[in-house]
Amino acid sequence: MCHVAFPKLNSFGEAFAGNGYQMPGEDLKEQTVDTGDDKLFLLSKLPLAIRADLFAQTRKDTNTQTDLQGPSLVKLFSSAPLKRNVSYYFNFLFSERGSVAGIEDAFIVLNNGYRDIDLDLRFGQFPVTDILFSREQRLTFQNFTYYTTEVSDSGFKLTSDRAAEMSYTFDMSDDISMGIWVAMANGNGIATADSDRNFDSDDLKNFYGKVAIESDGQSIGFYGYSGRENNGSSVRNEFYRLGPIFNFHLSEKLNIWGNFLIGEDTNPKFSASSPNEMNSWGGFMGATYPITDDWMVSALYNRVQVLGRPTLDAHTLTANLSYYLKRNFKMMVEVTGDMKSTRTDHPTKTHTGILGLVLAF
């Protein structure tokens, strides 16, 4: 009901998530224990889900060219309403490449937070690029490379952080709506608290947001992130990431989407004597097409360029074919071609191939 092909959401799944992980007009009493106390909200069942990914990989850029990665990751999920228009969501990463990562996402959502106006609040720990494209919901093993590339020595990343996010959606006409997102984040990821029990590494906060227009399932928008970080002294790095986002349904089945960003760091190495500005840009474009109810083909193009740090550059094209044995159990084959030119810092092509099983229940 919620997925084109798991984990990719369809329009109903996106609407469910956008409604604070609750069904519109749902009677929550059907999910609770009748205690006789109207102020006590107890779920009759604890909602849990598990996802496991298992892969066999072949690659050419390391001495180990074939590798059995089972499991590559195991996650536990839970989400439920706490009351009308208030829900929680969290996932615990039991295993990622053999180590326990811990809590990845954990947040509270307040939907229609003011007089049933479509003003939503989210507070907790989650990726700052979730309002663009969720890496959790991608169909490929290959990641969104620019989101995960650590351009500078800052703790800031385009991945998970502790943040407070507000969004507001309104109709511009009968068939056109606009959404506005604004947020504040610590800006240093989701590391553990320091000796003073502070999660943030400095007193500076980062800000990001998005503006998007949607009409008949087609959307375009613009994303911006701006931040500052001290390295424990007076040395500071200031940075931004800016760029467009698009999501087009060109036919009943063909979906093309992407995001491209430019960035600048004023002092990426936190040098007190000779700060050296660094520019970067990157992004991705993806396409999905369900051949049948059981077969899904998808493609992903990634491009990253970091001026002054060529080892971080990336240029790849990925093709993925997935077969769904069940709605919650799929087999996949994926090939990623390295399109980056060979040179001193990149002596060999890093083509990769994946055979995988992904299941969730």
pLDDT of residue 1: 83
The segments of the chain whose pLDDT lies below 50 read none
The answer to whether 187 touches 200, Cβ cutoff 8 Å, is: yes
pLDDT of residue 20: 80
Q: Where are the domains of the chain?
A: 3-25+46-360
The answer to whether 200 touches 186, Cβ cutoff 8 Å, is: yes
The answer to whether 139 touches 7, Cβ cutoff 8 Å, is: yes
CA–CA separation, 257 vs 353, rounded Å? 23
pLDDT of residue 344: 84
Residue 261 burial by Cβ neighbours in a 10 Å radius (0-12, 13-18, 19+): buried
E-only strand ranges, the chain: 3-5, 8-9, 49-59, 66-83, 86-96, 102-110, 119-127, 160-171, 177-185, 206-215, 218-230, 236-249, 255-265, 278-290, 295-306, 314-326, 329-338, 352-360
pLDDT of residue 4: 87
For the four alpha carbons of 198, 74, 1 and 174, in that order, the dihedral sign comes to positive
End-to-end alpha carbon distance in the chain:
15
Of the CATH numbers 2.40.160.10, 3.90.1280.10, 1.20.120.140, 2.40.30.40, which one belongs to the domain with range 3-25+46-360? 2.40.160.10
pLDDT of residue 38: 83
pLDDT of residue 116: 67
How many residues belong to the chain? 361
pLDDT of residue 330: 96
CA–CA separation, 60 vs 338, rounded Å? 10
